Amino acid sequence: MTERRWSGSVQLKAERSLLENNLHQFIKALAKEADVNGKMSRFPYSKYSLFETACKTPGRAKFIAACLQRGAFVTQKNPYTNEYPIHLAALSFDCENLSELLSTLRIQVDQKYEDRTTLYLLFEQIDSDNWKHVFECVKLLLKYDANINATDENSVSPIALLVTAGYDGWRKEILEYCLQNYSVNVDYRRQQARKAIVKNFPGTDIPIYDMEKVTVDVLRNKLNVETEDEFLAAYEKYCQQNNDHVPPEEKRAELLSVAVYRAKLTAAQKLVDGQIVEGKFTGNPKLLSGLLAKCCSRGNVQMLEWLLQIIPDDAVALINEDPLLSLLVKQIDVYKDKNKCPYFRSMGILLNDPRLEVDKIDVKKCTAMHYAVQYKIDHAQELLLDEGAYIWGENIFGDLPISEMDSSLLEKHLDSCVMNNDRKPGDEDYEVRISFANFIPPAHMPNSEDEMRPIFRISPGAYLLSMENLMELLLIGGYVAVLAHESADETWSMVLVGVLLLLGVELTLQFGMLPVNSIATNMVMLKTVTKNFLTSLSLYSIILAAFTLSFYTVFKMKVNAQLRETNRPEQAAVHNQDIEDEHLFKNFGDIQLALIKTTVMFTGEFDAADLPYKSFWPIYVLFLLFLFSVTIVINNLINGLAVSDTTTIQAESELVGITEMVSSICRYEKAQEGFEFIHST
């Protein structure tokens, strides 16, 4: 415990001394093993280490030197901001901080942060207030061979940033220094910087350079904003400058991605030229990763055809790396002529490739058919149906493509799935052939899942989720109990009654599984009305409970008032005996009987003459409220819902019958699969 508190206090002392610019205390804390790579505890420095905070704080050059001697991580980026120490030191606008960091041999002066070099970041931050400090940092970076022509992802160079932002005198000073001392390329993005120099700084001498050093940034700029011929010339020059070596694979993958995105087929072919053998790509498959998705997103038909041609025949995983058909369907304009739509043409090209997985799902578990149905793109649906797209796949929302598909379109396709063998119906070899391609689950479903499915179906948890299965278990248990023990006890008689009731319900349900439309329709009406009635009753049961307690309370008040009037114990005893002798169901003196009587009155079965409202007026008011709100309104409402349910089911009786038949078949199939699995094991 002592050592842990001491270590923590040393780290805090190091932080405090750094922020207070106390070098002596800082060195003492480091001597006591304060961690220079440890995370700061104070806001707003809590995302940075002790060393990174020293780099980003002006006037901390000696602190940086002390951290370097203690093993500071110079080439490791911050896990929260992705910045490297050199970026932090440069953005402190302190030349001494930057100089101390650049003195180490491990530093990479052109290390990029969000596709921008350190020098580029300085040119982004420069303004009229800080330009002198930033200029000194720029000079220092250039002295350490920083690339002044390194562009960002949009091919904008640092000089272009400087000269397009204004025509201040200090901008011209920095510009002239760079032009006179370094080979500055002012012709990126169709001479963007050159045009700005001529406009904002007329008369500035722009040296003519033969830009001998062709870098990957130059090649990327050629792909982004210039012609393919210019790129090809620059690429040849790059190879000459590097002893006929092509760019590294990582850089080549980046250039290839840009070429595909910009639809520059010749440039893309040049980048993989040395790795094509007999028309197939033989290099690292990662070089082609993600390119098909870019083609689909841009609707580049020629590039897509070329990529599918060079990808090896066994590279099925590379073809199905992304849900390509889904990407295309989402780009299709439903109002555009399908013959002129590049995305629809790309769909046809992909579907002609046998390696493509038609039912590839995305993160939402949606297939291309899901999106075609969602966006109501009929010609895309027809194309996918013809290729055997699965129409029963669920996405994460439980939606099926077939549920929202146009019925006439589906009917037309299903009709086309029924064919014959070109013989006459009377011939002996006449055959009717039916294609079930759209009903077969896709190949991406693992076999292990299919094999394990019977286990899930017969597992106790899944089995007990079914009300019918639970009722069958209770029925079996009741059978065993009745047969094992015979008794005249009243409780045991109730068990027998329960078994008889369950048996009646079970026989009714089994009878409802017969393949007859009328029987299936009546069973569905019974289940639906029962379910909806119980649902409605559970909602209105609060009102019934309120009336039950009200009747019980009012009746008790009347009885208590009568007892107070008599005030004679013997008469009260006689009165209680009279109540017991009367028909108890006509009174509300007991809470259980009050609940039952109120429920019976809810159905409209009550005798108003038996209610003692003439002798006690609150009963009269309560009875009228009950009559209106419960017997008239709620009762008729529930009856109306039941009638509407039965009318709807009868209108779809044929569909209901087919649905129930399919459900019964599926149930028996599941049971059969379960038994087959048990038998096989």
Task: Compute the average pLDDT of residues 77-98.
Answer: 92
Q: Which amino acid is at 28?
A: K
The secondary structure element, H or E, covering residue 529 is helix 517-566
Give yes or no for a contact between 70 and 38, defined as CB atoms under 8 angstroms apart: no
Q: How far apart are CA 382 and CA 643, in angstroms?
A: 40
Q: How far apart are CA 200 and CA 179, in angstroms?
A: 15
* pLDDT beyond 80 at 540: yes
Write down the residue that tokens 């590294």 correspond to: 248
pLDDT tens for each residue of 648-673: 777 777 777 777 777 777 777 766 76
pLDDT tens for each residue of 37-50: 888 887 777 889 99
7-200 is classed in which CATH architecture? Alpha Horseshoe (1.25)
What's the chain's average pLDDT? 82
Q: How many CB atoms lie within 10 A of CB 432?
A: 9
pLDDT of residue 674: 62
Task: Compute the average pLDDT of residues 528-539.
Answer: 83
Cα Rg of the chain, angstroms: 42
pLDDT of residue 635: 82
Point out the least confidently predicted range of 230-239, 254-263, 637-646: 637-646
pLDDT of residue 676: 64
Q: How far apart are CA 275 and CA 287, in angstroms?
A: 11
**The pTM of the whole model exceeds 0.85:** no
Evaluate whether 7-200 and 216-383 have a shared fold.
Answer: yes
Q: Give the CATH superfamily of 216-383.
A: Ankyrin repeat-containing domain (1.25.40.20)
The proportion of the chain whose per-residue pLDDT surpasses 70, expressed as a percent, equals 84
The proportion of the chain whose per-residue pLDDT surpasses 90, expressed as a percent, equals 31
Domain boundaries, the chain: 7-200, 216-383, 464-512, 526-562+581-663
Question: Ranked by mean pLDDT, which of 180-189, 244-253, 622-631 comes out on top?
Answer: 244-253
* pLDDT beyond 80 at 574: no
pLDDT of residue 461: 56
Task: Compute the average pLDDT of residues 669-680.
Answer: 65
Q: Which amino acid is at 286?
A: K
Strand partners, 276: 281
CA angle 663, 664, 668 (to 5 degrees): 115
pLDDT of residue 144: 87
Cα 594 from chain centre: 54
Task: Compute the average pLDDT of residues 545-570.
Answer: 65
Question: First CA to last CA across the chain, in angstroms?
Answer: 58
* pLDDT beyond 50 at 196: yes
Point out the least confidently predicted range of 396-405, 410-419, 551-560: 551-560
pLDDT of residue 211: 52
Q: Give the CA distances from residue 217 to residues 142, 254, 264, 274, 478, in Å, rounded to whole numbers and listed in that order.
A: 17, 10, 17, 21, 82
- With left for phi above 0 and alpha for psi between -120 and 50, is residue 145 left, alpha or beta? left
* pLDDT beyond 70 at 578: no
Q: Token digits for 372?
A: 């075609």
Task: Give the single-character DSSP code of 39.
Answer: B
- With left for phi above 0 and alpha for psi between -120 and 50, is residue 191 left, alpha or beta? left
pLDDT of residue 210: 56
Point out the least confidently predicted range of 337-341, 500-504, 578-582: 578-582
Strand partners, 117: none
pLDDT of residue 351: 94
Strand partners, 277: 280
Q: Give the CA distances from residue 653 to residues 403, 589, 597, 644, in Å, rounded to whole numbers and listed in that order.
A: 19, 49, 38, 14
Task: Compute the average pLDDT of residues 103-129.
Answer: 88
* pLDDT beyond 50 at 198: yes
pLDDT of residue 492: 73
* pLDDT beyond 50 at 201: yes
Q: Which residues contact 85 (CB under 8 A, 6 or more apart)?
A: 51, 52, 55, 72, 73, 74, 101
pLDDT tens for each residue of 436-476: 888 888 864 444 344 334 434 444 555 666 677 777 788 88
pLDDT of residue 292: 94
Classify residue 354 by burial, with Cβ atoms within 10 Å: 0-12, 13-18, 19+.
Answer: exposed
Task: Compute the average pLDDT of residues 206-217.
Answer: 73
pLDDT of residue 23: 92
More confident residue, 632 or 588: 632
The DSSP code sequence of 134-163 is HHHHHHHHHHTT--TT---TT---HHHHHH
Q: How many CB atoms lie within 10 A of CB 495?
A: 16
Task: Compute the average pLDDT of residues 297-302.
Answer: 91
